[in-house]
Amino acid sequence: MSKEAAIRIAPNVWRIPAARFDFVNIYALVDDDGQVTLVDTGFKSGPAKAAAGLAAMGKTVGDVTRIVLTHAHSDHAGGAATLAEQANAPVAISAIDAPFARIGQAPPRDQSTFLGRRVGKLSAPGKDFPAIVIGEEFEEGDILPVAGGLRVHHTPGHTPGHVALMHESSGTLITGDSIWNVRKLGFGVKAFCTDIKLNRQTSHILGELEYQVAAFTHGPHVAEQAREKVRSFLRDAAKKK
């Protein structure tokens, strides 16, 4: 568990823990001119965590010029509306998840699980998280103009529009929720996914990319043999199908 408000994990890339035990992370990428892009915003309490992390980096919310979301879930998009207003910064998300973000409702949950059906019944527009004004939509293969380039890899399953983001100049992969690193590498909670089987199928993309740091949105990052550890996990998971 990190007690630091912000941890530098690669050149121009920082991890900001947004919940206890590193359970939720926000990422900050810094351009050469000092502008900051935030990837994900945590729960509704995320803006305070983001502000503390930015301060530890020598930055403020006023330095944030863009917010990018890996997907439309409350633990990633919950603080987006507030942070966007505070920073006067546009929010970007995949074109597929954008309609859900705009109304503040998570995509449908996997109905094959009891909890997924239960959570789905409790979901409603504006109830899951505050509705977000979306300023930009992106698609598979797009390169966002963030700190030298942030490449979009569409990895659906956790949500229909879920993405992983590759910061190629620093060799950092932001995994989104395709894989978690809570105590150990694993897949997220089935009931939180739209389609857990699809999540497992598309996660193989993370093993095919080239990177040195795996930056998980749940759990601490991995900076040593990151790609090898992810590939090993995926191989073992494939054998258990």
How does pLDDT run across 16-54, given as a tens digit for each residue? Answer: 999 988 999 999 999 999 999 999 999 999 999 999 999
Between CA 229 and CA 241 the distance in angstroms is 19
Taking the C-alpha atoms of residue 165 and residue 153, their distance in angstroms, rounded to an integer, is: 6
Domain at 107, CATH number: 3.60.15.10
**1 in a structural domain:** no
DSSP letter at 221?
A: -
DSSP 77-133: HTTHHHHHHHHT--EEEETTTHHHHHHT-PPPP-TTSHHHHHHHHH--TTTSS----
Instruction: For residue 46, give its domain range.
Output: 7-239
Question: What is the share, in percent, of the chain residues with pLDDT greater than 70?
Answer: 99
Structure tokens at 134: 């979306």
Instruction: Give the Cα separation of 157 and 7 in Å (integer).
Output: 29
Per residue in 142-170, pLDDT (tens digit) is 999 999 999 999 999 999 999 999 999 99
Which pTM was predicted? Answer: 0.95
Report yes or no on 121 lying in a domain. Answer: yes
**Number of independent structural domains in the chain:** 1
Q: Is residue 2 situated within a structural domain?
A: no
